[in-house]
């Protein structure tokens, strides 16, 4: 199609929309620099006191720590289970395995409020409410489908003949998995691990239901701050989160570029 007037206006509109998507979050930056004790835009004066408070407050630091522990454990567990499962589904590839795959994607699409209800319901009798194990398990179930998707995407480009060749040359199943399959799907595994980490790090709905006092993750503390709507420390935390997002994004961009290069070779 010839790039007409319509196309031009549409492109301008698209840019405006894309900026609309990204810029609102940036308001956290000026708000976090306010010298006042309440949420406000700074007038001429700036101060870092809320960042100082963020990094000296035991509550916020422990939330950062707890979220980190939970997200790392969830990412490790989801990556392990998800990768194994993806390889299994890829090797079976029958009508049943496709059904199982569709079923395993459900936690990603079923509304989080329903997942939250389900975990809450089961965690009460299991005594997992308000515990690290409870949060890690719940987040792992939500995050494993992500890993399944990214690893399956990597497997789709993997040549099954390589596996055959490895076995014909006398390698055991385990050796084939470790030395042939895993290295070639590494980008998918890394991407899955990263997504699982972010999902857990950012998860709030399920967390609201299954945590109370002893486990208080970062999103939970931010949620509280947002609800109370007074303390600018939330703004400082938001700025830190935006910075972490940008760093994670850069890492993933580098990874996917490396992935593309590996596939081109």
Partner 1 sequence: MQALNRHIHPGWLIIAPLLLMVVALYLGPILNILWLSVTDPEPGFGNYAKLTEGDALIRIVWTTVRICIITTVFSVIFGYSIAYAMVHCHQRQKTYMLTLLLVSFWISILVRTFAWLMLLGRKGLVNVTLEDIGLVAEPIAFMRNELGVLIGMVHYMIPYAVLPLLVSMQSIDQRVMDASRNLGASGSQTFWRVYLPMTMPGLVASTLLVFILSLGFYVTPAVLGGGKVLMVAEYISVQLLVTLKWGTAAMLAAIMLFGVLAMLWIMSRFMKLSTVFGGAAR
Examine residue 262 and tell whether it contacts partner 1 (CB under 8 A). Answer: no
Number of residues that bind partner 1 (CB under 8 A): 99
Binding region for partner 1 (CB under 8 A) out of 7-15, 49-57, 63-71, 158-166:
7-15
Could you give the CA distance from residue 121 to residue 140 in angstroms, rounded to a whole number? 17
Q: Which of 69, 76, 171, 242 binds partner 1 (CB under 8 A)?
A: 242
Cβ at position 27, least distance to partner 1 in Å = 5
Residue 167 neighbours by CB under 8 Å, 6+ apart: 173, 176
Q: Which of 46, 59, 61, 84 binds partner 1 (CB under 8 A)?
A: 84
CA dihedral 221, 227, 230, 234 (to 10 degrees): 30
Site string for partner 1, 146-165 (x = CB under 8 A): x-xxx-xx------------
- Kindly identify the residues of this chain, within the stretch 107-146, that bind partner 1 according to CB under 8 A: 107-122, 137-138, 140-141, 144-146
9 membership: H or E segment, kind and range: helix 5-22
Q: Which of 50, 101, 193, 197 binds partner 1 (CB under 8 A)?
A: 101
47: left (phi > 0), else alpha (psi -120 to 50), else beta?
beta
Q: Judging by beta carbons within 10 Å of its beta carbon (0-12, 13-18, 19+), is residue 53 exposed, middle or buried?
A: middle
Site string for partner 1, 50-79 (x = CB under 8 A): ------------------------------
């Amino acid at each position: 199609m010839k790039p007409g007037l319509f196309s031009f206006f549409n492109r301008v509109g698209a840019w405006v929309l894309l900026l609309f998507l990204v810029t609102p979050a940036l308001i956290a930056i000026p708000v976090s620099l306010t010298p006042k004790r309440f949420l406000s835009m700074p007038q001429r004066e700036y101060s870092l006191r809320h960042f100082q408070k963020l990094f000296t407050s035991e509550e916020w630091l422990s939330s950062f720590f707890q979220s980190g522990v939970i997200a790392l454990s969830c990412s490790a567990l989801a990556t392990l289970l998800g990768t194994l499962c993806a390889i299994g589904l890829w090797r079976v590839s029958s009508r049943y395995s496709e059904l199982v795959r569709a079923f395993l994607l459900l936690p990603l699409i079923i509304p989080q409020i329903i997942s939250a209800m389900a975990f809450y319901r089961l965690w009460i009798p299991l005594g997992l409410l308000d515990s690290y194990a409870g949060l890690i398990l719940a987040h792992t179930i939500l995050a494993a489908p992500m890993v399944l998707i990214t690893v399956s995407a990597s497997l789709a480009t993997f040549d099954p003949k390589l596996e055959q060749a490895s076995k014909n040359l006398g390698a055991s199943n385990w050796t084939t998995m470790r030395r042939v399959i895993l290295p070639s799907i590494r980008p998918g595994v890394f991407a899955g691990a990263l997504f699982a980490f972010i999902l857990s790090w950012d998860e709030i709905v399920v967390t609201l239901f299954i945590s109370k006092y002893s486990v208080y993750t970062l999103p939970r503390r931010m949620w509280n701050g947002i609800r109370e709507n007074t303390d600018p420390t939330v703004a400082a935390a938001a700025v830190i989160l935006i910075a972490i997002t940008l760093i994670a994004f850069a890492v993933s961009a580098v990874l996917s570029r490396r992935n593309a290069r590996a596939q081109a070779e």
